[in-house]
Structure 1
Amino acid sequence: MKQYDLIVIGGGAGGLTAAAGGANFGAKVALIDKGSLGGDCLWTGCVPTKSLIQSAKILHTAKKANIFDLEVHGYPNFKVAKERLNQSIATIQKHDDDQRFIDMGIDVYHGGASFKNANEIRIDGQTTIRGKRIVIATGSRPMIPPIEGIKETGFLTNETALQLEKQPKSLIVVGGGPIGLEFAQSFSRFGTKVTVVEMGTSILGKEDSELVPYVIGSLKKDGVEFITGAKVLKAENMDSGKQVIIEQNNQQKTLLFEEILLASGRVPNTDKLELENAGIRSNRGFITVNQKLQTNVPHIYAIGDVNGYYPFTHKAGYEGKLVVSNAVFGLKRNANYSNLPWVTYTDPELFHLGLTEEEATNKGKEIKVYKTPLDDVDRFVSDHETNGLIKIITDKKGMILGAHAVGPGAGDFMQEVVFAKQYGHKIGSISNVIHAYPTHVGGVQRTADLYWREKLVSSSITNILKKYVKWFR
């Protein structure tokens, strides 16, 4: 039986980071994955979906050519979009090729992993290897909600929707979160009639409520319809399509669509790991970990989607780095998600960092809120892209508690605020940085300028300074 210092189960962002980090520091590492390395992000998530979003945006932009007295005719070829996303996957997959990790000295195994005991892992029930430390990074998959008849009727998920050869004529999206909305807007821009059904009273329930209407308005302009406060009860096949029964305000309505896309959450890939053989605790399939990412079995760690904290690729990568410190070097570093940003890649993009205004208020904090609409930012004005808002929340001393933005490229131009928050810089520090003009990030500087403007207006020393300036002149 082969012995390893570190066994990593799962070849996604977190697992690959942990395996490479361990090998680079001299640990003997085994990496196990049931499919091709790269994880959901590469094959069915971040990479292909962003390619689809960009293809849909090109179509959307082309239609704007009528302002220059140009006309666009015909129907978009969805196969081209699929070819583009496959090209993106193929290019990026080279970074996650088996040989790259083999060259690092890592033993790569392909097959299903399960625990024989707390130190031994079986691969496809045959090969068994032993590890001193073990990292579980098996990711998640789409949740299939308990809708009567849904399996018999057939449905799409974020995985299978990317395999379509042509866009459906009509589509119901079950779930108003980031995944559902990104697909809804993309398909709508390709010409699909899209309806989003959300159980909550609004979409994007975790986002700052002041910014969400910008996204809703944009999607509605693209033709997306919303049914909120509603639940899908039943689905069945009809000669003319897939019939869906929806309940809203205690009333039922029947709708007909060509396809159903389920985007109502994720479940962890832990059901085949036989966690009980190692005595590992879990809750609804999510593995319970402490702040050091250890399970209740101290030499076994869980990172990424399987531990239930924030289902983002960049979060899994962060945890992969952290677990190298703890599992390979024996350090006791805690995970800290207070500076974890995320982005909903609709058009406009929606950026989230830290507390929303509602959350900060509910915590009883004395806060300041600084806001800049994009029509006050010269670069957005010159681009004629002014649908959006930048919002930064601080405590009374100017320390950043949260930052949110909606606008074209918000996920990029707000990154400066992540740095400032993580390293304890006050909002005023951003104002003091020289920003090139005109840029989109100038909107962040303009928002930070409001801090000093307020300080000068409310400061008791202002009158003294005015008298000094008058004397000096």
Structure 2
Amino acid sequence: MTSYDLIVLGGGAGGLTAAAGASSLGAKVALIEKDEQPGGDCLHFGCVPSKALIKVANDIYKAGRLEEYGFSRSGHVKMDKINERIKHAISSIQEHDSIERFEKMGVDVYTGFGSFVSKNEIAIDQKVTIKGKRIVIATGSRPMVPQIEGLKESGFLTNKTIFNLTKFPSRLAVAGGGPIGVELAQAFARLGSDVTLIEREPRLYGKEDSDAAELAQSLLEKELNLRFNASVKKVEQHNTEKKITLEYKDGSAESIFADHILIATGRVPNSDNLFLEKAGVKTDNRGMIKVNGHMQTNIPTIYAVGDVNGALPFTHVASSEGQLVVQNAVLGLKRKMDYANMPWVIYTDPEVFHLGETEDELKSRQAIYHVYKTPLNEVDRFVADHHTDGFVKILTDRKGYILGAHAVGEGAGDFMQEVVFAKQQKLKIGSLSQVVHPYPNHAAAVQITSNSYWREKLFKGIVPKILKRYISIFR
């Protein structure tokens, strides 16, 4: 039986980061991936294909607005051309995640399904067994398919299958208003589909700051048919279309028709079939593997990173957890994961950026805080671009330390990065006003927001009186 310093189960973002990092430190590493090529859901079915689709959709949408300048367009979307572009993006990035690349790093890559035999033994397809001092579970998650009458019989799409469409849907129903649901719903709407988004809650962007959620939803309402407080009760196939029966929380019902229905109602962890009981690893009632701040399960030599641990379901979070595990599992350190400084972005247009606490969360814990907010119509570059829908909002404590930051705007995921750095480095909001931006620049929105902090300090309270007295003496 071959022994390793570290065995990694799963070749997604978290697993690949852990395997590469451990190998670079000289550890003997095994990587087990059930698919033919590593990369995980993000590369093959999630982040990469969805962002490639969003880019095409936004290009086409903006091309349509050229009519304002006397241009015209004609024709219809060709799904095969879109699929070609998506596949090209995947294949280009796949080179960085390929088996060959990891083997060159010194990682032993096994293709097959790994499961526990004991707390330090893993069987691959129940044929080959290997042994590891430490084991990292990075098996990710998959779409959660709810029990809906007629759904399986009528057929449905998930984020794993929607990119296989060969014919563009003229009507699309999307069940679920989370990040996957809203991103794909807007993309298909901009490509020309009549999209109905079905959400069981009373609003979209449920985890976002209320100001951001309200604005982003109001903009989406111009492009999508939104149904709130609603669930899909039944799906029936009628010739080439689906009849979808919705049930509302007030007891009323409605039927809508679509060519396809996309199920985006959440994710379930890929923890089943791992035979975790043989290793004694505990999960919660959803199947999420419980971990401590060091990413350790209840078995100290077994770690879990990424979607499977139920923390934050984002690729960059999985990668950060993978980096932490290398330090703890390979070097024996006791570093803890810090989610307080972990940002995320919902890639609708405009983008919705999130960092730290929301204003509602601060109110709920009765925190004393300050709000600094700048609408994008006060930022010259956004005015020049005619993209003024949005704002930057930074929340601080009394001393100016950043508690949360939120933004809605084109490219918000990019121009808000200096705020992430400031919060991670425990810098005050005032430090952001010292950053020099080339004019005109989108990130000036952050600078203008931070400038309001100094205006508050300089023109309120005792400081203005002291300055006035000083200037009179200086003269």
Shorter chain as denominator, the TM-score bin is over 0.9
Residue 38 of structure 1 and its aligned partner are, at CA, apart by: 0.7
**Displacement of 1:303:** 0.3
CA distance in 1, matches of 2:318, 2:73: 42
Residue 59 of structure 1 pairs with residue 60 of structure 2: yes
- Preserved contact between residue 13 and residue 315 of structure 2 (Cα < 8 Å): yes
Q: Deviations over 1:82-104 (max 9, x none)?
A: 11111100111100111111111
% of aligned pairs identical? 54
Secondary structure of the structure 2 residue equivalent to 1:282: coil
Moved over 4 A (4+): none
Deviations 1:220-247 (A, max 9, x none): 333x110001111111211251111111
Distance in 2 separating the partners of 1:130 and 1:215: 50
Query: What residue ranges of structure 1 are gaps of 5+ in the alignment?
Result: none
Q: How does 1:380-399 map to 2 (within 5 A)?
A: 380-399=382-401
| Aligned counterparts, 1:265-276, within 5 A | 265-276=266-277
Q: Which moved more, 1:258-267 or 1:235-244?
A: 235-244
Q: Does 1:23 align with 2:26?
A: no
* Corresponding residue of 1:279: 280
Secondary structure at the counterpart of residue 72 of structure 2: coil
- Cα distance in 1 for residues equivalent to 2:466 and 2:213: 44
Partners of 1:191 and 1:69 lie apart in 2 by 21
Alignment of 1:177-216 (within 5 A): 177-216=178-217
Q: Is 1:149 matched with 2:150? A: yes
Distance in 1 between residues matched to 2:78 and 2:282, nearest whole Å: 49
Q: Give the number of equivalent residue pairs.
A: 472
> In structure 2, which of residues 326, 334, 351 is the aligned counterpart of residue 349 of structure 1?
351
- 1:258-337 to structure 2, matched below 5 A, reads 258-283=259-284, 284-337=286-339
Q: Look up the equivalent residue of 1:31 and give its one-letter code.
A: L
Gaps of 5+ in 2: none
TM-score w.r.t. length of structure 1:
0.98
Mean alpha-carbon deviation: is it higher for 302-311 or for 160-169?
A: 160-169
Q: Secondary structure at the match of 1:449?
A: helix
The one-character-per-residue Cα deviations of 1:36-84 (angstroms, maximum 9, x if unpaired) are 2011111001111000000000001101111211111121222221111
Tell me what 2:137 maps to.
136
Q: Is it true that 1:360 corresponds to 2:362 in the alignment?
A: yes
Secondary structure in 1 matching 2:406:
strand
CA contact (8 A) 2:215 2:390 kept: yes
1:326-354 CA distance string (max 9 Å, x none): 10011111111000000000000000000
Q: Does the Cα contact within 8 Å between 1:132 and 1:299 map onto a contact in 2?
A: yes
Contact 2:77 2:168 (C-alpha < 8 Å) held by counterparts: no
Distance of 1:416 and 1:216 partners within structure 2? 26
**Which shifted more, 248-257 or 25-34?**
248-257
1:113-262 equivalences under 5 Å are: 113-222=114-223, 224-248=224-248, 249-262=250-263
- In structure 2, the residue matched to 1:70 is 71
* Length-normalised TM-score, structure 2: 0.98
Please say if residues 362 and 369 of structure 2, whose CA atoms lie closer than 8 Å, have aligned partners that are also in contact: yes
**In 2: Cα distance, 1:169 partner to 1:464 partner:** 67
Q: Deviations over 1:247-289 (max 9, x none)?
A: 1121111111110000010000111101001110001211011
The 2-side partners of 1:412 and 1:219 are apart by: 21
Whole-Å Cα distance in 1 between the matches of residues 96 and 131 of structure 2?
28
Aligned to 1:42: 43
Match for 1:334: what amino acid? K
Secondary structure of the residue aligned to 1:60 is helix
Aligned 1:361-376 pairs, distance under 5 A: 361-376=363-378
| 1:471 CA drift (Å) | 4.5
How far is 1:135 from its partner?
A: 0.3
Superposed counterparts of 1:80-91, under 5 Å: 80-91=81-92
